[in-house]
Amino acid sequence: MRAYTGRCPGTSESARNVSPRVLWLSVVVAIASLNGCSVDGFAPGGPHRLAVGELESLVRHSAQANSVDPKLVSAVIDVESHGDPAAISRVGAQGLMQLMPGTAAQYGVLNAFDPAENVAGGTRYLHDLLRRYRGNTRLAVAAYNAGPGAVDAAHGIPAFAETRTYVDRVVAALR
């Protein structure tokens, strides 16, 4: 007979001590896989698209309130979530404008899956990035994707392939 050690065989001490952040991210990923991050999600009836007019109205209102080009807001939404208010990225970004939980909290977004809150918060964030980078859309969009710290450290668009592709896609959608 074996003595109970409080461990599952084959696990290490570090496997038992999972950080709250890792646990939270695991829950988000599990929910995303159940709800789906696309039109063909597993949970039927999930809010995977807004009516075009409703989305345009949200964009127009938030863009005007924050002095941001509505085409830029629409381009970010298209590239980030393809217009899916239930989208969750592999790193935990949420909603139409794919706000990270910390950014959402910083901009007063209580429910990142609420289209109006998400677009309002994401547009305020874009406004602040455009101001920080003196109207340079490419740098602001790079910072939206990789974070301002990465843009500042690189003294420009970081050399991350994902960020460079992202910037090109957003800028192309502006044309």
Residues marked active site are found at: 80
Half-sphere exposure at residue 150, Cβ-oriented, CA atoms within 13 angstroms: 16
Buried/exposed 84-107: b ≥16 CB within 10 Å, e otherwise: bbbbbeeebbbbbbbbbeebbeeb
* Apex 81 CA angle, 156 and 58, nearest 5: 95
Tokens of 103: 């950014």
DSSP string, 13-50: HHHH---HHHHHHHHHHHHHHHH-SSTT-SSTT-----
Residues 99, 118: Cα–Cα separation, whole Å: 7
